[in-house]
Amino acid sequence: MASYDLVVIGTGPGGYVCAVRAAQLGMKVAVVEKNPTLGGTCLNVGCMPSKALLHASEMFEEAGHSFAKMGVSVSAPKLDLPSMMNFKQQGIDGNVKGVDFLMKKNKIDVLKGTGKILGAGKVEVSANGSTQTVETKNIVIATGSDIARLKGIEIDEKRIVSSTGALSLEKVPERLLIIGAGVIGLELGSVWRRLGAEVMVVEFLDRILPGMDGEIAKQFQRLLEKQGFAFKLGTKVTAVDTSGKTLLAKVEPAAGGPSETIEADVVLVSIGRVPYTDGLGLKEAGVALDNRGRVQIDPHFATTVKGIYAIGDVVAGPMLAHKAEDEGVAVAEIIAGQAGHVNYDVIPAVVYTTPEVSSVGKTEEELKQAGIAYTVGKFPFTANGRSKVNQTTEGFVKVLADAKTDRVLGAHIIGREAGEMIHEAAVLMEFGGSAEDLARTCHAHPTRSEAIKEAALAVGKRAIHM
Ligand code: FAD
Ligand code: NAI
């Protein structure tokens, strides 16, 4: 029987990164993966394919709408959807091969099949009717998450789709109805709107992007509406009639009331994701779940069974690839006897639309709720030189600092490249920096990042260009 120091179940960003770090620390490691390819949700049906389509569809829209004003005259772009899907697939393949390479480079055994925990120290791997059992000193559960479903609305991945189906539609739907104004709904809604779909988003709450700063979300909604998105907030879809050629969605106020019917060609269900633990044998092994079906862990990622740990989407916390990765590194270091740690106060979040939305740390709503006195510094891209010359002036930067100490508690950006810009605030926050520190840091000119410096200056009411 093969024997390891560590067996990781699942090769998403949590699992494969954990395996690499453990191998770097001298452990003999195996990963178990039930999918034909490594990389998990993120590489195969999540982060990567969605970003490929966001990029390609943005280029399509830019070519059609923005080139002429810069004096670049091209004929109206034509959509070749199969080629765009091929572009997406090439991106997936390249990244998946990269994970294969990392496994080989770090001498990590890849066990293809479904992993089941037989108890501390034993994992059974089944594939195509055959099983093998391996022994291991430690197990990390990194089995990720699955789509959340709506009762009575069956996902067929053709007309009623989850994100997975929405990443592979064979033609642009004339009318796309999206249930849930979260990250997936707004990113994939952007893709299909740019390619020609009429997009309507039905959201249960009275705002989009719950969890993001409210002021940013409001401006984001206005900008998306300007692009052609229609929103129905405080509303729920209770049924979808699939009997005819056109889908008929029954929609009613979240609080109850008279219903209406919305016609659509495709319905995207994007109401969140749920932890995935099917077939892992957790109950029999004595690994406890919390009240939301997530694997219960202590602050050191240890489950209720000694030698079994869990990370990523299958445990509590934001369902983000970089959170899973950082937990993967931390748990490998903890198993190796080091002090692995994740700072949950500084985990950036990005919505990769146009404009992008990014955020790190506390929102204004969270600070108010916690009773923390804070100062706000804001700076619009309309006053940023680089944005003006590029004519990409939508959005603003917002820096939130402790009113007494000036320590930066949160940063929020809406605007082009916001996802790349947020990290200077993250680094500053990791070092406990102040708005004054940020404001006195020399920023290259002309860059969009100067808007961050100006927002930090605005905390002290001394922005220069406003
Ligand atoms: P996963 O990536 O879900 O990987 C789990 C792996 O475990 C899978 O490969 C699965 O096959 C395997 N597995 C499960 N059970 C078993 C078993 N019993 N035996 C063997 N293998 C098993 N996050 C971001 O940070 N940025 C983004 O831009 C982003 N975009 C997204 C877009 C979409 C459309 C979706 C759906 C998600 C997106 N996410 C994004 C979220 C991100 O994909 C997840 O947070 C991340 O993949 C979680 O990593 P993980 O390692 O915990 O699990
Ligand atoms: P989400 O949690 O971001 O948004 C779901 C939305 O659906 C919420 O606004 C919620 O209020 C709404 N909702 C729930 N039930 C509803 C109902 N019955 N009717 C109408 N609205 C309803 O979940 P989403 O968008 O499905 O994404 C899942 C996860 O994937 C997220 O946790 C996110 O972190 C991750 N992800 C991250 C991305 C990124 O980092 N750029 C991109 C895509 C996904």
Average the pLDDT over 384-398 and give the result.
98
CATH topology of domain 160-271: FAD/NAD(P)-binding domain (3.50.50)
The closest alpha carbon to 6, from 137, 106, 142, 141, belongs to 137
CA of 151 to the centre of ligand 2 (A): 16
**250 has a pLDDT exceeding 90:** yes
Structural fold of domain 349-459? Enolase-like; domain 1 (3.30.390)
Question: What is the per-residue pLDDT for 1?
Answer: 87
pLDDT in tens, 42-95: 999 999 999 999 999 999 999 999 999 999 999 999 999 999 999 999 999 999
Q: What mean pLDDT comes out for the span 447-455?
A: 98
Is residue 398 within 8 Å of residue 413, measured between CB atoms? yes
Average pLDDT over the chain reads 98
Rg of the chain in Å (alpha carbons): 24
The domain limits of the chain are: 3-146+274-335, 160-271, 349-459
Q: What is the pTM of this model?
A: 0.98
Active-site annotation holds for 65: no
List ligand 1's pocket residues with C-beta within 6 A: 9-15, 32-35, 40-42, 46-47, 50, 114-115, 142-145, 163, 184, 276, 279-280, 312-313, 319-322, 324, 352
Give the fold, CATH level 3, of 3-146+274-335: FAD/NAD(P)-binding domain (3.50.50)
What whole-number distance in Å separates Cα of residue 333 and Cα of residue 15?
14
DSSP per residue over 288-325, as a string?
-B-TTSPBP--TTSB-SSTTEEE-GGGSSS---HHHHH
Cα of 47 from ligand 2 centre, angstroms: 14
pLDDT tens figures, 114-147? 999 999 999 999 999 999 999 999 999 999 999 9
**Residues ≥6 apart with Cβ < 8 Å to 143:** 9, 10, 275, 276, 277, 280, 312, 314
Ligand 2 centroid to Cα of residue 456, in Å, is 31
Q: What is the pLDDT of residue 411?
A: 98
pLDDT in tens, 307-326: 999 999 999 999 999 999 99
Nearest listed ligand to the Cα of residue 50? 1
pLDDT tens column, 28-50:
999 999 999 999 999 999 999 99
- Ligand nearest to the Cα of 217, by number: 2
Kindly report the number of other CB atoms within 10 A of residue 284's CB atom.
11
Q: Does residue 465 carry a pLDDT above 90?
A: yes
Cβ contacts of residue 190 below 8 Å, gap of 6+?
Answer: 54, 57, 224, 227, 353, 354
Q: Which of 37, 32, 42, 36 has its CA nearest to residue 12?
A: 42
Among 399, 393, 390, smallest CA distance to 462 is for 399
Residue 109, pLDDT score: 98
Q: Is 150 in the pocket of ligand 2 (CB under 6 A)?
A: yes
Number of the ligand closest to the Cα of 165: 1
8 A C-beta contact, residue 18 and residue 342: no
Q: Is 267 in the pocket of ligand 2 (CB under 6 A)?
A: no
pLDDT digits (tens, 9 = 90+) for 215-227: 999 999 999 999 9
Q: Atom 33, ligand 1: which residue's CA is nearest?
A: 46
* pLDDT > 90? residue 409: yes
Q: Is it true that 3-146+274-335 and 349-459 share their CATH fold? A: no
**Are 357 and 418 a contacting pair, CB within 8 Å?**
yes
Say how many Å lie between the CA of residue 141 and the centre of ligand 1. Answer: 12
How far does the centroid of ligand 2 lie from the alpha carbon of residue 186, in Å?
9
- For ligand 1, atom 45, which residue shows the shortest CA distance? 320
